[in-house]
Amino acid sequence: MSVVMDAMDAPHALRIVARTVVWPFRWLGIKGDPTMPPVVRALNALGPAYIKFGQVLSTRPDVVGPDLATELRVLQDKLPPFSLEVAKRSVEDELGHPVADVFSEFSEPVAAASIAQVHKACIAETGEEVAVKVLRPGIEKAFRKDVDAFYFAADTIEFLSPASRRLRPRDVIEHFDGVVTGELDLRLEAASASEFAANTAKDQGFQVPTVRWEFSGRRVMTLGWAEGEPLGDNDALDAAGHDRHALGNRVLALFLSHALRDGYFHADMHQGNLKVAANGDIIAYDFGIMGHIDEYTRRVYAEILFGFIKRDYQRVAEVHFEAGYVPANQDVDEFARALRAVGEPIFGMDATRISMGRLLSYLFEVTERFGMETRTELILLQRTMVVVEGVARSLDPEVNIWDVAQPVVEDYIKQSIGPKALGRDLMRTARVLARFGPRLPGLVEGALIRQATPVEEVTRRNWALVLSTGLGGACIGAAIAAAILILS
């Protein structure tokens, strides 16, 4: 773990957290597979939750160095598989039929990650080639052990370091626990894949394999086969004639579009979950971790990104305060200057010379200085942003996230923060008020009765009816009129 921390040039607080999490396993004497490189061996021995951490690092050669990033790529989809016989038994138990009756062909594992492994198969009835994903035996117990260790570490950190409580370590682990629980039920992953495919059906240069529901269950999921070159194999991409600069830009643009436009995005977009089809389309798969952000958060996120793009650090600071991301007792001007210190080096320096390790370290210092708490609703968004930018830069080190983000963010702002968006908001408000219309007299009467005396009883009832129907109708009418005026 110290190798990883040194490579990241991690701040002291993060080193303490890492040692606290790893210490119980060092005490147990878990040594791992000696044939693996040291860091890969350590993370693999610690368990599947730690492998997830390694997968994120594998996308950031600018943070951990190209050699370590290459070593960590093994964690994406090249871990030791379990046997074909065990996989077939799982499929038979889940689908209720012998494998030979369902699939005319069923290969050895073609990819193996921390949660599951994938087999290439052929549906007996139609001849269609599919990918069959099978959970690892005992994976639920293994993850439970890891997460329990994380809870122990979080409680220890909060106890020993009261200053760390602003980072809300236990809340972060609870969020992670919920994500993992969903990832261990492949029926939920199939539903995520189906929803994601529907949202992105019209996206140019992007594909999502079709879910085969009749061959899927809690521990088995079947998707259409994704034929293409792995996005992490630059030599293969070059040999196939693909434009890596365009691919890097498209990965970033697609992620931002999904996050802002749909509020629903693939939250595990490392190279092991992406391929490039012969026609240049990016194919995404493995939908166990998906991110969701509500419309209000999307607007805040877009304004922050847009402010950075325009280098309007004052507005970025104000948005942070308006959204409650920075405590109100802090100085907005001081925070704006701190953000300028983050943003200006990025804009004034070639992308290949930016040290993400130093940048992340400084951002950590800024959050500590201004008492910013961890926002669990943004964890997946922030994590995926780091991963996707790393994937794009592995394709082309000169990819600039701000140049790619500008048209996507500007388009979203035009659609969601302008006059038309205000009209849509008013219309939604009107519909809510209309639904509550029959209940308004009772709601107003209930509010007034807490204030009224016995002498005022009759007057109260009359005024409650007048106020609720009159004000309710006026609000609905005003909202509708304003919406029609703006949209016309």
Out of 77, 268, 286, 396, the active site residue is 268
Look-up: residue for tokens 């016989």? 85
Look-up: residue for tokens 């999307």? 298
- Beta carbons of 79 and 51 less than 8 angstroms apart: yes
Residue 208 to residues 211, 236, 283, 480: CA-CA distances in angstroms?
A: 9, 21, 6, 39
- Beta carbons of 51 and 142 less than 8 angstroms apart: no
Q: E strand or H helix at 27, and its extent? A: helix 12-28
Q: Which alpha helices (H) appear in 200-264, and where do they start and end?
A: 234-239, 244-257
Give the closest residue to 291 by CA, choosing from 384, 200, 209.
384
User: Whole-angstrom Cα distance, residue 18 to residue 32?
Assistant: 18
User: Whole-angstrom Cα distance, residue 466 to residue 470?
Assistant: 6
Kindly give the interhelix angle for 313-322 and 332-348, rounded to the nearest 10 degrees: 130
Instruction: Show the tokens assigned to 117.
Output: 């492994």
- Beta carbons of 72 and 55 less than 8 angstroms apart: yes
Helices (H) and strands (E) in the chain, counts: 23, 10
- Range 30-35 contact pairs with CB under 8 angstroms and sequence separation of 24 or more: 33/80
SS3 72: helix
Q: What is the dihedral angle through the alpha carbons of 252, 255, 261, 264, rounded to the nearest 10 degrees?
A: -170
Instruction: Show the tokens assigned to 205.
Output: 């240069």
Length, in residues, of the chain? 488
- Beta carbons of 283 and 209 less than 8 angstroms apart: yes
For residue 203, indicate whether it is catalytic. no
- Beta carbons of 107 and 97 less than 8 angstroms apart: no
User: Whole-angstrom Cα distance, residue 197 to residue 50?
Assistant: 29
Burial 428-454 (b: 16+ CB within 10 A, else e): ebbeebeeeeeebbeebbeebeeebee
Catalytic residue set = 268
